[in-house]
Structure 1
Amino acid sequence: MTRTALALALLATPAAADVNIYTTRQPELISPVLEAFTEETGIGVNLAFVEDGLPERLRAEGARSPADLVMVVDIANLAQIVETGAIQPVQSDVLEAAVPEALRDPEGLWFALTTRARVVYASRERVADGEVTTYEALADPEWQGRVCTRSGTHNYNLALLSGMIAHHGEEYARDWAAGLKDNLARRPQGNDRAQVRAIWAGECDISLGNTYYMGQMLADPEQQDWANAVRIIYPEFEEGGTHVNISGIAMTQAAPNREEALQLMEYLVSPEAQAIYAEVNNEFPVLEGAELSDLVASWGSFTPDDVSLAELADHRGAALRIMEEVDFDG
């Protein structure tokens, strides 16, 4: 081929399109892995941070949406996005091989990228080793006046209560929520880090929180004392495992750049991407054998609960109703 013919052939070859993402995650948390994707493939990524109202935005834009993918945290958020009708199923042998069945939608509407455990943060001074082993025990009278947590209607706590429903049924879950409320040291308030601060300040002895907040606190000089005042405990459901939630990804119905978007989805479950994503966010990879960060590995190991996240999403409405019936935040 002559030099002129080669130049004409290159001009005739369309360049790969950028992938457009709507996300509720802070851009700095996912930019490193997206930059690695661009470096490897030459495909650019346009990231739009949508702090609130993402389902409504997708509904309003419909088939005109420029978004190829959505990236969010929490199974409830993924379920709400699916309910808009704006998501299309994805069939991919790569994704199905990398993401465990319990961590993806049965119809391919969403896939987990990382997981986080809902743990107990326990005072190093006032809670002995082995004193907390199950979620069910958090409603026992021995913890009266010793528990702190954020709002019971927050998605993280609703997902945990959904797990309780999955294991024991709604009646048991209602009694458990009422018992946990009776054990609160103060009215639910603040975020997960605020609960650890309350333990450090002596207001309570244990709290519920997600694992990655430990990494965030240790990275903040003003919060390091809070983090060092507690240790992470991985409770389990009786005859179950430790409750986990996810960050996840889904492809929109509109997806103007479907081929490139699928390429990105598959890249995000590769060993390289899983290691980057998990380390930056202090989360656990979904890919078996992917490398943990040294910090996350130092928190110990646990057995994830085997209830599927799709089932937890189905129980969310009942969990919200229970929290309102027991007036958990009142």
Structure 2
Amino acid sequence: MKKTLLLATLGVALTGTASAYAEEINVYSYRQPELLKPLTDAFEAETGIKTNVLFAKQGLVDRVVSEGENSPADVLLTVDIGRLDAAKQAGVWQPIPQEITADIPQQYVDPDGAWAALSLRARVFYVSKDRVEEENLSYADLADPKWKGRVCTRSGQHVYSIGLIASQIANNGEEATKEWLEDVRDNLARKPTGNDRAQVKAIYSGECDIAIGNTYYMGKMLTNETEPEQKDWAASVRLVYPDAEQSKTHVNISGVVLAKHAPNAEAGQKFIDFLLSEEAQSIYAESNFEFPVLPGVEASDLVASWGELKADDLALSEIADKRDEASKLVDEVKFDEGPQN
């Protein structure tokens, strides 16, 4: 009921008073409005197209499905390849023109044009500055007995974890990934719990020495003025790109879908084109501490200080195809129950 009321309230922005703008687009977003505001402000200033944003933490794909041909959604923004693939499977998309996505690496574009990446986030290690000397580590190292009782992570069923496990299946096969997942489980310092920031806090408190998390959380913590204790957590760790020597660091994406029944499809295409421009990609880099998906656009100075990202070139569509297998493996090995021996 609360979610329904929230969406209904937010929906007023899409159906309310008349606008002074000649054109408008309606954006359904899983990304928080404050993260999008620098981008939507710049887009409006450049094009004169008004951007209405409806935000919710969940349920937007289902909403578009239920609205059917009457949906006001022009563009859907979300994070994680699984959520983008869910939008594709639900049939709420129309192809993004290839000329819009031609300049970004094609492993970050759906083969059918159902979605395209807007930014990258790497799944990396946070390691204790005081207790971990290793500079070069791999995802395989998490299974090494030397790390027994020293590893922290969030739930294996979280979308970020499923993406990493799915990439392991795509690269190494299901059986090898199952064995790896069992060994990682038994190296955990505790049952998987909390978000990525909580893993950094656990290292700070001495509960573990190495944790798995997304790169941009480090930027958010190091610059957090409202909760300055997070700066202390972040200062206790350094960031390691796993499998960097093999150019195999796992990346996930934030991405965009052009809605199937978009009433303002042409304006929606202009918005996607803008989000893939140098200007917007620089805003992603500076505001959100994410990696630009457009070649030639630099990461922020803070992100660059962590070293060079050498991303796995595995197509994100292949990771999407392995997500169900990954989820089944997590349950099969009882990963979220923590160490078994």
The sequence identity of aligned pairs, in percent, is 50
Find 1:61's aligned residue among 58, 64, 67: 67
Aligned partner of 2:138 in structure 1 is 134
CA distance in 2, matches of 1:83, 1:61: 16
**Which secondary structure does the structure 2 equivalent of 1:287 belong to?**
coil
Structure 1 residue 224 corresponds to structure 2 residue 231: yes
Cα shift readout 1:81-107 (whole Å, capped 9, x = no counterpart): 11111111122313222x211001011
Runs of 4+ in 1 over 3 A off after TM superposition: 237-240
CA RMSD in angstroms, aligned pairs only: 1.4
In the alignment, what sits opposite 1:30? 36
The answer as to 2:334 corresponding to 1:327 is yes
Give the secondary structure class of the aligned counterpart of 1:207: strand
Structural mapping, 1:37-76, within 5 Å: 37-76=43-82
Q: Gaps (5+ residues) in structure 1?
A: 1-13
Cα offset for 1:238? Answer: 8.6
CA contact (8 A) 2:93 2:258 kept: yes
Aligned partners of 1:151, 1:237: CA distance in 2, in Å?
24
The 5-angstrom pairing of residues 151-300 of structure 1 reads 151-220=155-224, 221-236=228-243, 239=246, 241-300=248-307
Shift of 1:237: 7.9
- Given residue 268 of structure 1, which amino acid in structure 2 is its aligned partner? L
Quickly say closer, same or farther: Cα 1:228–1:239, change in 2 above 3 A: closer
The residue aligned with 2:325 is 318
Question: How far apart are 1:239 and its partner, in Å?
Answer: 5.0
Distance 1:172 1:322, change over 3 A: same
Q: State the distance in 1 between where 2:285 and 2:69 align.
A: 33
> Which one-letter code corresponds to 2:255 in the other structure?
G
Q: Shift in Å at residue 16 of structure 1?
A: 3.8
Supply the distance in 2 between the matched residues of 1:295 and 1:214 (Cα, whole angstroms): 9
CA contact (8 A) 2:244 2:310 kept: no
* Partner SS state of residue 187, structure 1: coil
Task: Give the TM-score normalised by structure 2.
Answer: 0.90
Larger Rg: 1
Number of paired residues? 315
Amino acid at match of 2:307: G
CA distance in 1, matches of 2:214, 2:92: 29
Rounded Cα–Cα distance in structure 1 between residues aligned with 2:61 and 2:182: 32
